Amino acid sequence: MTTETRDIIVVGGGTAGCFAAATAAQNGLDVALLERKSEDDAGHIACGDAIKGKSTFPDVIDRDHLRAESFTNENIRRALFVNPKGDNIDVPFQDDSGAVVDRKRYGEVLLEEADRVGADVQYNTVVKDVVQNGKVNGVEGIYDGDYIEYQADVVIDAAGALSILQDKTDFEGTSYDTNVTYDQFCSAYREVIETKEPVEYDDAIVFKPTEELGYLWYFPRTETEINAGLGFQMNKPPIPLVDVLKRDLEERPEFEEATVKDKLGAALPTRRPYDSAVAPGFMSVGDAAGHVNPTTGGGIPGAAKAGHWAAEVAVEAIADGDVGERALWEYNQRVQTDFGKKFAAMDLYNIFGSAHETDELTDIVTALPGQMLIDIMGKKGETSLSLPGKIKAAVTTVINTRGHWGTLREANKVSNLASDIKEIYADYPSSQDEFDGWQNRRDALMDDVYEITGADPKY
C-alpha cells in the first residue's frame, strides 16, 4: 500500500471541501483534496441551485471568476408560493437579490480554484476507512484502482450526508455529535429542464407544497432553463419523487414539449447542525455536519463558511502542535453563533410542521392575508402593516382560520421558542468545560417544543 503524508486531508470536493482546501492551501499548508468522482464528472451534484444573496463566500478564491462562470441568473428578487387552495403568494426579498447557478460549472470552478491556489486535487479517489490511534491520523482509500493511505495532522470530513468517515471513526470519549439518524434527513430529486418559451417567473424562486411535508421547487437558471425538483423528509412515508414531479410538470403549461437535460437525486440533512463537529484530528463540514437549512434544504453559503472556518482553525492548531478536540473547538463556536443559531431555530418549525398534516398547514397559509405572510417570512420579522391594516388582518385571520385556532396558538408558541433557542446558540460555549450545561439548557427548551407540538422527539 502506498502512503502519502500531508498536513491536512479534505475528503469530498463539494462547496465545504473546496473552501476548506483552498483556505488551507492559501495558508501555506500541504493539503490534498480527495474527490471520488472523475474530473469530468466532478461538480455534478443534485442541488436546487439557488443562493440567497451573493456576497457571503469567503475571500480565498476568485469570487468574480466563480460568479462570471456559474451564476446564470442574478435577478432573483422574490419567492413565489404556489398555493394549491387559493391565490399564489409573492414574498419579495427585503435586501439582496438572490441568484441561481449552474451547479456543475459552479462545482468545477471551485475545484479549479482549489487547485489554482495550491491544493492537490485528486480525482477518482474513494475513501474506505479512517486511520486512527488515539486521534484520527488519516484515511485509507482507492486512488485510480490502487490502495493508498493518506496520513495527516487533520482530516476534514466534507463527504456529505451520512458520511462514511463518521461510521468508521471511533468517537468514544469525545463530544462529537453521534445523535444522528436516518430519519433526520431528506431525499430529493431534481431535473434541469429547457422550456420552449421563457417562463413568467424568471425573477423568482417558486415553491409548492407536496404531501408528507415536502415541497416542489422551480428555480430558473435562465428564462428557459429551469431546475425543477422536490424532496420529502425521511421521517415520513416515502413518496415516489419522480412520479410526483412528472405529474406536476404535466399540469404546468410552460413545460409542454420541454426537454429534460439532466436528472439526479440526493440525500441531505433536514436537522440542526451537529452540536459538536470536532474530535482529535477530525472536523466535519457542510452536509456532513448538518449545515443545511432544515426547512428549505439550502446549504451553499453555510458550507462555504464552515469549510473556511474549519481550515482556519486547523491551520492554527497545526502551527501550535496540538490538534486535539479542545484546540479545534473554536470552529464549533464560530458555526453555532453564526448560521447555526438560525438553522437551529428553523429546525423548530420543521418539527412543528412534522406534527401536522400538510393540508392543515396549507389551509392556514391560504387563510392568512398576503401582507401578513410577507411580514411573517420577512428576515427581520417586523410588520409593515398600519394600525387599521393590523386590525383588518387580525379580523380576517380569526374568521378565515376558524377550526385551526389551536394550531395557530401552537405556532405562536413555537415562534417564541425559536427566538429563545437563538439566544441559547448565541451563548454556545467557548470551551468543552461548559458544553454539558449548554446542552442541558437547549434540551430543556426542546422538551417544551415536543410538549407543545406533540411531535415525537427528533433527537
Distance of CA 385 to the CA centre of its chain: 32
Q: Would you state the pLDDT for residue 180?
A: 95
Cell matching residue 161 = 450526508
Cell matching residue 94 = 427585503
Residue 302: other Cβ atoms inside 10 A = 27
Domain residue spans of the chain: 2-73+98-177+274-340, 183-269, 347-453
Cell matching residue 268 = 441531505
Q: Would you state the pLDDT for residue 402?
A: 52
Cα–Cα distance measured from residue 267 to residue 233, given in angstroms and rounded to the nearest whole number: 10
Cell matching residue 34 = 480527495
Cα–Cα distance measured from residue 448 to residue 352, given in angstroms and rounded to the nearest whole number: 12
Q: Would you state the pLDDT for residue 113?
A: 98
Q: Give me the tens of pLDDT residue by residue for the chain, a chain 459 residues long.
A: 899 999 999 999 999 999 999 999 999 999 999 999 999 999 998 888 988 765 579 999 999 999 999 999 999 998 888 877 777 878 788 766 789 999 999 999 999 999 999 999 999 999 999 999 999 999 999 998 899 999 999 999 999 998 999 999 999 999 999 999 988 998 899 999 999 999 999 999 998 887 655 789 999 999 999 999 998 777 776 678 889 999 999 999 999 999 999 999 988 999 999 999 999 999 999 999 999 998 888 899 999 999 999 999 999 999 999 999 999 999 999 999 999 999 999 999 889 888 776 666 656 555 554 444 444 444 433 344 444 444 444 444 444 545 556 777 888 899 899 999 999 999 999 999 999 999 999 999 999 999 999 999 999
Say which residue the cell 406533540 belongs to. 454
The reply to whether 2-73+98-177+274-340 and 183-269 are identical in fold is no
Cell matching residue 354 = 412534522
Q: Would you state the pLDDT for residue 142?
A: 96
Cell matching residue 418 = 425559536
DSSP per-residue string spanning 75-95: EE-EEEE--TTS--EEEE-SS
Cα–Cα distance measured from residue 389 to residue 449, given in angstroms and rounded to the nearest whole number: 31
Q: Would you state the pLDDT for residue 83?
A: 78
Say which residue the cell 377550526 belongs to. 403
Cell matching residue 414 = 413555537
List the 204-210 sheet strands across, edge first: 89-92, 78-81, 204-210, 214-220, 225-233, 185-194, 259-269
Cα–Cα distance measured from residue 118 to residue 249, given in angstroms and rounded to the nearest whole number: 44
For 250, residues 6+ apart whose C-beta sits below 8 A from its C-beta are none
What is the model's pTM? Answer: 0.90
CATH of 2-73+98-177+274-340, one of 3.20.80.10, 3.10.180.10, 3.50.50.60, 3.40.50.10140: 3.50.50.60
Question: Residues 30, 7: contact at Cβ < 8 Å?
Answer: yes
Task: Give Cα separations from 406 to 218, 314, 358, 400, 453 (angstroms).
Answer: 32, 49, 16, 14, 11
Q: What's 183-269's CATH class?
A: alpha beta
Integer-rounded Cα Rg, in Å, for the chain is: 22
Task: Give Cα separations from 211 to 187, 356, 358, 407 (angstroms).
Answer: 14, 11, 6, 18
Residue 199: other Cβ atoms inside 10 A = 19
Residue type, position 404, single letter: H
Closest CA to 34 of 170, 128, 117, 103: 128
